[in-house]
Structure 1
């Protein structure tokens, strides 16, 4: 009886150990599905990025001015079911550091390119919101045939009139230099429709409040400068693979060789205010870029559908 009891005890101990090991193995497998790491950009700035999910094409989400990767949380969670998803914080944003004085779109593009190369991703679709659009274009210039598509979200072709001359840019940026957080707060609240969920608005505004004014002022100036000097040629260069969500060059026609999808009833923060509708729109674009969607030559929408 004593021997039997000891055998049972030993068997139980072994089973417990095996279950514990299995749990550890499962944790390792889970960790492999969500990897967070750091890579140096061209100027040595440490760029924090994350990789989640598996499947082609790889989606790279690029956040907007003074934001961070958490603005894409709903998209990362959703699209990681079928795709490898990459997020990052641009230099001077979120968890990433910075060794730069000027926050140019080209330098931000180098941040994205460094991450994509580090991961070894090919068949990449770059998704950029607002300032993330120009950043995605700059990244595409460096990544070459790794990029099969660029999706601009409320960027490039919007009702917003970008200041073009150096004097106009300086005048627009001046209030941000004087009172960065106060001016940013007013601007942000103007970017939502009256119907927007106050909790969503507050959450977004709170995240912006953590922004570094020095980074924000420089990035805003460089964004306007890029739009005035680089945008026309660069957008034409990538027109064959450029898709737009909530942006069109006129109220009646889509940009050359590109599709336009409008999510109505939202302001600037399309993916955050209406994540389900945005995800559906992006799914359709992915299908067209990969040749798995219904062939539609162009989608035409009036800008009044934009919602602000």
Structure 2
């Protein structure tokens, strides 16, 4: 019989102008139908592969847009006295933002800031000697020695342009670090450390009297002090979490560092703050909301106590972003 042209997989049998209800597969003669079928299948396969590739490319581009490439590096560098100093580098973009923790704490206090600012800047964290992941070869924990720790980490990270951010005791530390880093420092940010209502003891008798209870009961006295530094209304669970982060430091380190911080404030603070007045900014607490800034380089954060970056991280981050923008001008 002669081959009939292929019209598809299925074709109804007809009689005259009527269509039969019982439909059967139509058999194509020769190779023509087979070739058409194979071509159709190949086209569908290729189309599916093309769509898969395009989808993969879109996902890859989206990932690059929403999650900037970051570099993460941690290391140990010796300070001037040989103390092993732990540091970490994350993110890209100048200037490098250097975060320095407070008394008896560690870099984990800055975790919200490290995550946030590493999206747009290179971030460097440091654990001071005797704190966090850093060791120690010293007996006295002076602000000058801590400044050497920060400078060693900045040098190890090969940072050319830095903004130093220090909370509480970390404020004195970053000022000391600035003395060693020179023109590489484009800004200093003190966090609830300078121009606050707290009156540091200035004379030797007052310093000794303040430190003495810590010598008798370091952990108990420390906890009492820390719990007094929160504004009313803070979630008790948040207070417990923050206070608990201070429990791991050796009392010898804490007592020495407190004594040396008071000595630094008595002997160096006024002169050093005047020296860096042009690039020194401050983010300070306003627990009642009625406190006012003493000058235009101080940003007040209402409704929070001493631990601004931990209790109100988003508000703090915004304030620091604005300061960074000013320093970059």
**Post-superposition offset of 1:254:** 3.6
Q: CA RMSD in A?
A: 1.6
Counterpart for residue 103 of structure 1? 141
**For the residues of structure 2 that align with 1:104 and 1:94, how far apart are their CA atoms?**
17
Counterpart for residue 283 of structure 2? 245
**For the residues of structure 1 that align with 2:236 and 2:138, how far apart are their CA atoms?**
36
Aligned pairs for 1:66-105 within 5 A: 66-105=104-143
Counterpart for residue 231 of structure 1? 269
Are residues 1:264 and 2:324 paired? no
Are residues 1:276 and 2:314 paired? yes
Choose between structure 1 and 2 for higher RCO, CA contacts under 8 A separated by at least 6 residues. Answer: 1
Gap runs ≥5 in structure 1: 1-29, 292-308
Counterpart for residue 171 of structure 2? 133
2:155 counterpart (117, 121, 124): 117
Are residues 1:200 and 2:259 paired? no
**For the residues of structure 1 that align with 2:114 and 2:319, how far apart are their CA atoms?**
15
**For the residues of structure 1 that align with 2:292 and 2:310, how far apart are their CA atoms?**
26
**Post-superposition offset of 1:190:** 0.2
Counterpart for residue 218 of structure 2? 180
**For the residues of structure 2 that align with 1:56 and 1:31, how far apart are their CA atoms?**
15
Q: Secondary structure at the match of 1:208?
A: coil
**For the residues of structure 1 that align with 2:232 and 2:300, how far apart are their CA atoms?**
19
Report if the CA contact (8 A) 1:197-1:273 is conserved.
no
**Post-superposition offset of 1:253:** 5.6
**For the residues of structure 2 that align with 1:287 and 1:82, how far apart are their CA atoms?**
12
**For the residues of structure 2 that align with 1:31 and 1:108, how far apart are their CA atoms?**
32
1:16-71: CA deviations, max 9, x gaps? Answer: xxxxxxxxxxxxxx997111100000000000000000001100000000000000
2:77 counterpart (39, 45, 55): 39
Report if the CA contact (8 A) 2:285-2:304 is conserved.
no
Q: How many correspondences in the alignment?
A: 258
Gap runs ≥5 in structure 2: 1-67
Deviation >6 Å, runs of 4+ = none
Counterpart for residue 253 of structure 2? 215
**For the residues of structure 1 that align with 2:238 and 2:128, how far apart are their CA atoms?**
23
**Post-superposition offset of 1:194:** 2.0
Quick one: structure 1 residues 84 and 184, their matched pair in 2 at CA, closer, same or farther if it must change by over 3 Å? same
Q: Secondary structure at the match of 2:301?
A: coil
TM-score normalised over the length of structure 1: 0.81
